[in-house]
Structure formats: C-alpha cells, structure tokens
C-alpha cells in the first residue's frame, strides 16, 4: 500500500494550511511521500516546489521539492481573508482527492482545514464539514469522526449540529452504528484488536438515575446491553466530567461522546498540537489536522505543523495496515 503517495488537499487558501503544507514537507521529505493539490500561485514559497501530473511522480520528487498537483483557483490568496470566488476550488480539490483515492492512485487523503462558513457563503456548500461531504462522495450513509492522539481517542456520536438538536439526533440507532463503525475502524485500521469502548452519558452525572435526564437510561443503556451480548467491550454510560483524567483514560481505547464539544474539548485540551482527525467508515483512508484555518495567524509564519505531520504519519500507518 505504501508504494502510493498520500494526497494532501489545500483546504481554505486564506488559512494556515498552505504554510503548514510547506513545513510538513520539510519535516517529512525523507520519511514518507505526499503531494499537495493546490493553486501553485497560492503557495507562500518558503520551500522548493515541483509540479506533477501523475500521483506516482510524487515519489521521485518528494526528497527534493514539495510535489504539487496544480488546481487553479479563481482568486489570489489573501492570508486571513477568504475570497468567496475560491470556495468552488476548495470543494473541487477535495472531490479530486477522493477520486484519486477511490481509483487507488493514492493510499490515503489528508485534508487541510476548510472554513465552513466561507464555503457556505461562497458556493452554497451543503455540508457542515469534510466528514459529511466525504461520506457523500464515498457513497456511505454513516461515518464516524474520531480524533486521536497518543493520550486519548474520542468520537462525537452527533457531529456538526446545534446543541439544541443533540437530544433528538442522539438516537439508539445513531449510537449503535457509531459503536460498530468505531470498533471496526480501530480493529481494521488502528491495530486495536479488542477495543475497550467507553460511552459518555449525555446528561450531568450520566442522568443520576433519572434525576437529571432520561437519555442515559433510555438511549444509551439499551444499546450497551444489546452490543455487550454480541461481545463488544463497553463501559457505560459514564459521567462525562470524570472520564477524561489520566487514570480513567487508561481504562478504555476510545470514548464515544454524545456531541461535538463533549468529545473535542478534552482532546484539544490535552493535545492540540498532536491530535489527528480521522474519518472511519469511508471506503478510503482520510486524516486531517485537528485545528481549523486559524485566520488570526495566517501569513505570520507562526502556524504549528505538528498536527498535520501527525495526520500524514497516521494516514501512512493506516495504509500500511490496510
């Protein structure tokens, strides 16, 4: 699998992504092969680059220059300010990378951050994030967003929806599918043979026996009973406030949470620089840094490439074990 390169999508050109792509190339040029799909005119120009037409050409280029598959955009790059005319280009680059993955010309895709509102405003993008767009491109109904670092793996069972919609979206079916996809992904792609899965309660104190909400007993508990009978190793439903300290984390391989911030706050607090976002359940491998476009520091040279470097390494590792 690793004879093929990883496709790195440019994401929002006004963000820190392209600066990070150059730094990631400097760090990884003798370790693994990736190429960037981007408008060459958008690149900050701190490293040598070489245009390629065929993904396979990246292998010979990588040690000397950052391989670029050119995708012309409508407008120039202005750090910190998204150009609405570039929204279509950002979306098309992601679709191009998926085509390359589905046709097995690349071993994985790694996506640099998009600005969700810029895509909605500029191109009426119908998806709240990569995760949902990639599910559609990959023709799968349900995928799982997992964020992983050396210290913790977390999965939000509901993803990019308003908090007010979480209780109705967090159904037994969603939770069951999420557990199944997560367990399979950990076994098949992450080298965890028998995943220990912790489920966070939705309510304070996991509902405190019904005194603080009912979903822990009526949604989570029945799914746990059903899946335990099938052999899943599930701990549950745990009060979310006490399941992320070091001793608690040692008892599970992944924490499945009810909603976005319940999952992402602990991992971004523990390891913002090393966290990787991976989509499980797709017919191809996709990783991403855990951070966003960071418009506030774009163009300043301050962007830390560690999360993208970790994401590229994880993509390669997953491809090796596929």
Residues that bind ligand LD2JLWAY (CB under 6 A): 114, 129-131, 264, 277, 288
The reply to whether 81 sits near ligand NAI by the rule CB under 6 A is no
| Encoded tokens for 242 | 């006490």
Q: Which does 294 bind (CB under 5 to 8 A by kind): ligand LD2JLWAY, ligand NAI, none?
A: ligand NAI
- Select from 260, 286, 291, 313 the one that contacts ligand NAI (CB under 6 A): 291
Could you give the angle at which helices 172-189 and 221-229 cross, rounded to 10 degrees?
Answer: 40
Instruction: List strands edge to edge, sheet with 276-280.
Output: 49-52, 66-70, 34-38, 6-9, 108-111, 286-289, 276-280, 144-148, 153-156, 254-257, 196-200, 233-238
Taking the complex as a whole, the smallest distance from the CB of residue 38 to ligand NAI amounts, in Å, to 15
Cα–Cα distance between 225 and 126 in angstroms, integer? 36
CA dihedral angle for residue 185, residue 187, residue 188, residue 191, rounded to 10 degrees:
110
Which residues, numbered 101-130, are part of the site for ligand NAI (CB under 6 A)? Answer: 113-117, 130
Which residues, numbered 151-190, are part of the site for ligand NAI (CB under 6 A)? Answer: none
The reply to whether 251 sits in an annotated binding site is no
The reply to whether 207 sits near ligand NAI by the rule CB under 6 A is no
Taking the complex as a whole, the smallest distance from the CB of residue 110 to ligand LD2JLWAY amounts, in Å, to 11
| Encoded tokens for 203 | 């309510």
The reply to whether 160 sits in an annotated binding site is yes
Q: Which does 296 bind (CB under 5 to 8 A by kind): ligand NAI, ligand LD2JLWAY, none?
A: ligand NAI
User: What is the chain's percent helix, strand, coil content, to nearest 5?
Assistant: 45, 15, 40
- Select from 255, 303, 315, 319 the one that contacts ligand NAI (CB under 6 A): 303
Cα–Cα distance between 72 and 65 in angstroms, integer? 20
Helix, strand or coil for residue 127?
A: coil
What residues form the annotated binding site for a divalent metal cation? 160, 205, 260
Indicate the annotated binding residues: 130-131, 160, 205, 260, 268, 277, 286
* Interacting residues with ligand NAI (CB under 6 A): 16, 113-117, 130, 277, 288, 291-294, 296-297, 302-304
Annotated binding site for substrate: 130-131, 268, 277, 286
């Amino acid at each position: 699998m690793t004879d093929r390169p990883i496709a790195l999508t440019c994401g929002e050109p006004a963000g820190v992504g392209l600066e990070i792509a150059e730094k990631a190339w400097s760090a990884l040029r003798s370790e693994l092969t990736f190429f960037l799909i981007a408008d060459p005119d958008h690149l900050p120009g701190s490293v040598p680059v070489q245009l390629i037409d065929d993904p396979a050409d990246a292998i010979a280029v990588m040690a000397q220059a950052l391989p670029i598959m050119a995708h012309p955009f409508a407008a120039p790059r202005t750090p910190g300010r998204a150009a609405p005319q570039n929204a279509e280009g950002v979306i098309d680059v992601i679709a191009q990378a998926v085509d390359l993955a589905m046709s097995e010309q690349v071993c994985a895709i790694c996506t640099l951050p998009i600005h969700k509102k810029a895509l909605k405003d500029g191109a009426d993008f119908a998806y709240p994030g990569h995760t949902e767009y990639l599910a559609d491109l990959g023709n799968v109904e349900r995928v799982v967003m997992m964020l992983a670092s050396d210290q913790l793996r977390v999965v939000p069972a509901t993803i990019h929806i308003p908090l007010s919609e979480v209780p109705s979206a967090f159904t037994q079916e969603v939770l069951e599918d999420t557990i199944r996809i997560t367990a399979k992904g950990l076994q098949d792609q992450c080298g965890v043979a028998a995943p220990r899965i912790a489920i966070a309660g939705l309510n304070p104190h996991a509902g405190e026996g019904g005194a603080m909400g009912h979903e822990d007993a009526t949604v989570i508990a029945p799914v746990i009973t059903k899946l335990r009978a099938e052999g899943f190793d599930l701990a549950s439903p745990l009060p979310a406030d006490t399941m992320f300290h070091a001793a608690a984390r040692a008892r599970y391989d992944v924490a499945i949470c009810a909603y976005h911030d319940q999952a992402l706050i602990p991992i971004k607090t523990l390891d913002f620089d090393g966290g990787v976002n991976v989509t499980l359940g797709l017919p191809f491998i996709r990783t991403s840094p855990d951070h966003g476009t960071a418009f506030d520091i774009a163009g300043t040279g301050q962007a830390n490439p560690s999360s993208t470097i970790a994401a590229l390494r994880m993509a390669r590792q997953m491809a090796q074990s596929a």
